[in-house]
Chains A and B, each alone.
Chain A
Amino acid sequence: MSTEFALAVSKLTKTFGTGDLAVAAVRSVDLDVAAGEVVLIMGPSGSGKTTLLLMLGGMLRPTAGSITVAGTDLAVTPERRLPQLRAQHFGFVFQDFNLLSALDALENVELASNLAGVHGAPAHRRGTELLERMGLVHRLHHRPDQLSGGEKQRVAMARALANDPPVILADEPTANLDSGMGREVARVLRSLADDDQRAVVIVSHDARLRDIADRVLWLEDGTFRELDAMAHDPICGMAVETTLDHPHLERDGTLWYFCSTGCRDEYDARPVAESTAPAPG
């Protein structure tokens, strides 16, 4: 059943600590991602997004449940085999890029090929091609500290592709980028699904990423909630549950919901004509 999906997650649970101090970060989550599909997981801070992503990527052992990638259940794979699985089946994109500071752009990408077992000229060629694809032909031998944020994230995406992985996992890939760069990164992530038929799972607060997602899931308190019942904070763009527990206010007959009182106050302070315009990107 799970074989048709690039990534199949069943009843995934993670509890940190025990007894009174136990934190149920992720509770019995089910998720299937097909090749060529982009899934965006949103949710408030502390809702378990990163925890979920770490388990999907074989970096955190679940308390219960299964994660099936290429016929292997990561939840029960011995610790020593996990690095190799990560090197072969996943491409990771991080919030703060996480390039290796001592290596240049090309070497960063080549190293990922090396870890997946490809060395020498083939690794070099693949690295060059991927950086070309990211529009970084002129930055091959720049070190990370000589690159802009957007360039760094594109190098990171090239690195995530170095091992030709079926699954891309991205945690807040646009958080440290300005809107133009964010859009560019979003476009590339979409193309990884469309052109390469990879499964792309993105965890983010960034509502702009909704445009490229086939599915948007809302994680709150460690479980997925129905997103249709969500409103969008007109200031920051975040999805917010439409319950009156959340900060809200009424203007021109519409009820607006906000992620925080900060956003509400900012919205409240705006002149009426401006406030109904779309939130600035």
Chain B
Amino acid sequence: MLGRVPFARRTLFAERRRAALAVAGVAVALLLVFILDGIFAGAIQQVTAYIRTSRADAIVSQQSVRTMHMSSSALPPSDVERVRGVAQVAWVAPIRYATGIVVTPTDRQLAYVIGYQPGRRGGPRSLVEGREPRDGEAVIDRVAARGLDVPLGGRVQILGRPFRVAGFSSGTTSITNTIAFITYRDFGRLRGSAVSYVLVGGRPGTSPRALRDTLAAALPDSTVQTRDEFVVREASIVRDMSADTMQIMTFVALVIALAVIALLLFTTTLAHLRDYGIVKAIGGSPAQLARSVLVQALWAVALALGFAVVLALGVAGLINRFSDNIAIVIEPSSVARVAVGASVVAVIGALLPVWRIARLDPAAAFRSAL
């Protein structure tokens, strides 16, 4: 408050060590929330990486199938020609897709298997070593290859058939799975001729939404989404799957923060009870004193939040640098949510001290023993 003696702040920081410890405690609790949120956001980014980086303006899938994750889609091959026939379409990339396992003699890894036409779109975003697959060959993620201990040119089994590893891609492995690319033809031989999804690029000047609408009109028996819509759907599947766990962990972390704040405010208030009695005696109203405690709570939380954000960014930076398959993304929306949660925690933590001060008799300032 401008132009007022900062009684709240002075009181809070009168015992620097106590305040610092408590702020650190709250910061660690909030850090926990940030890291959880960050891992979650990172996982979503990883899961949606293939579609996000596909450069498709629209994606066609089987009627009412809106994701790749946890779903399967089958389109008649004739749909590909119908898409090609739409005027605004610049390019078309049909892909075949299934959930499978990459198997070596000693290890295995869950994988999305994508069959695409080498030389066209729909393949790995970036090849870091080797080349695109020919029939009988596969491109797997470098991180997964390292984990499976497969060298370039090594052999793996995918969808129950042996493949030679022709190249390594990057950015497609998360903590739970990876992507393996094989040729469209091989995939068809193994799993039938159906097309799973059709990635579509629009001509310059065509908006994704307009393209989507035109395609939807041309393919009334299929589902068409813009890339952004597809990504949102994918993200929401992951979110729904882990929402409960996330909420419980976040709740626990906030309860810890609450305990620390409540303890700080209560011990600080008890230590300064006499001061509060004096302020009451010389004319401080209960509301003013309650505000003072609240201001202390918000100070503690604001400082802790600041520290937690800095720490979270630091931890995220380190993990992203040294870990291949865990990505931590600290999103502004996450900071905003934690700030709201922490403010609620601050208010709740202030209740007990406010109640204690409200009961304080101003006359006590005139009696020596308090």
Residues of chain A within 8 A of B337, CB atoms compared: none
**A100 adjacent to B7 (CB under 8 Å):** yes
> Of A87, A98, A121, A163, which contacts B365 at CB under 8 A?
A98
* Residues on the B chain within 8 Å of A96, using CB: 368
Q: How far is the CA of A28 from the CA of B282 in the complex (A)?
A: 26
Q: Nearest residue in A to B365 (C-beta to C-beta)?
A: A98
The digit string for B254-289, where 1 denotes a CB below 8 A from any CB of A, is 000000000000000000101100111111111010
Cα A104 to Cα B11 with chains together (Å): 12
Q: Taking CB as reference atom, which chain A residue is nearest B362?
A: A59
CA distance A177 to B215 in the complex (A): 93
A54 close to B366 (CB less than 8 A): yes
- Which of A103, A107, A119 is B3 in contact with, Cβ under 8 Å? A119
Any A CB within 8 A of the CB of B356: no
B368 to chain A, nearest CB (A): 6
A236 to B341, CA, bound (A): 62
CA–CA, A101 and B14, complex, Å = 8
Q: Are B366 and A111 in contact (CB under 8 A)?
A: no
State A159–B4 Cα separation when bound (angstroms).
Answer: 15
> Contacting A94 at CB < 8 Å: which of B10, B13, B280, B365?
B365
User: Is A204's beta carbon under 8 Å from chain B?
Assistant: no
Question: If A100-B7, A101-B14, A103-B10 touch, does A116 touch B366 (CB 8 Å cutoff)?
Answer: no
A92 within 8 A of B: yes
Closest chain A residue, CB of each to CB of B285: A83
The answer to the question of A8 belonging to the interface, with a C-beta cut-off of 8 Å to chain B, is no
Cα-based distance from A90 to B282 in the complex (angstroms): 8
B190 within 8 A of A: no
Q: B366 and A50: CB pair below 8 A?
A: yes
- B367 on the A face (CB < 8 A): yes
Contacts A83-B283, A86-B281; A102 near B367 (Cβ below 8 A): no
B336 within 8 A of A: no
Contact of A107 among B5, B272, B279 (CB under 8 A): B5
Check if A103 sits within 8 Å of B281, measured CB to CB.
no
Q: Are A50 and B288 interface neighbours, CB within 8 A?
A: no
Expressed in whole angstroms, the Cα–Cα distance for A90 and B280 within the complex equals 13
- Taking a contact as CB atoms under 8 Å apart, the answer to whether B284 and A115 are in contact is yes
Least distance between A128 CB and chain B CB atoms (Å): 13
- With CB as the reference atom, state the residue of chain A lying closest to B277: A98
- Could you say which residues of chain A place their CB within 8 Å of the CB of B280? 83
> In chain B between 104 and 144, which residues have their CB closer than 8 angstroms to a CB of chain A?
none
- Are the CB atoms of B275 and A100 closer together than 8 Å? yes
A102/B362 in contact, CB under 8 A: no
Contact yes or no, A171 B366, CB < 8 A? yes
**Contact call A120/B282, Cβ cutoff below 8 A:** no
Q: Which B residues are in CB contact (< 8 Å) with A80?
A: 285
CB nearest to B275 among chain A residues: A100
Chain A residues whose CB sits within 8 angstroms of the CB of B288 once the complex forms: 115
Residue pair A59, B281 in contact (C-beta under 8 Å):
yes
The answer to whether A87 and B282 touch across the interface, beta carbons within 8 angstroms, is yes
How far is B279's CA from A98's CA once the two chains are assembled, in angstroms?
A: 9
Q: Is the CB of A115 within 8 A of B282?
A: yes
| Chain B residues whose CB sits within 8 angstroms of the CB of A123 once the complex forms | 3, 5
Q: Check A86/B282 contact, CB under 8 A, given A50-B366, A60-B363, A102-B272.
A: yes
Residue B2 at the A interface, CB < 8 A? yes
Interface 0/1 of A167-211, CB less than 8 Å to B: 000010000000000000000000000000000000000000000
Q: How far is the CB of A177 from chain B (nearest CB, A)?
A: 15
**A260 contacts the other chain (CB 8 A):** no
Chain A residues in the interface with B (C-beta under 8 A) = 50, 53-54, 57, 59-60, 80, 83-88, 90, 92, 94-96, 98-103, 107, 110-112, 114-116, 119-121, 123, 159, 163, 171
16 contacts between A and B (CB under 8 A): A50-B366, A59-B281, A80-B285, A83-B283, A84-B283, A87-B284, A88-B283, A94-B366, A99-B278, A100-B275, A102-B10, A102-B272, A102-B275, A111-B7, A119-B2, A159-B282
CB-CB nearest 4 A-B residue pairs: A87-B283, A120-B3, A119-B3, A102-B14
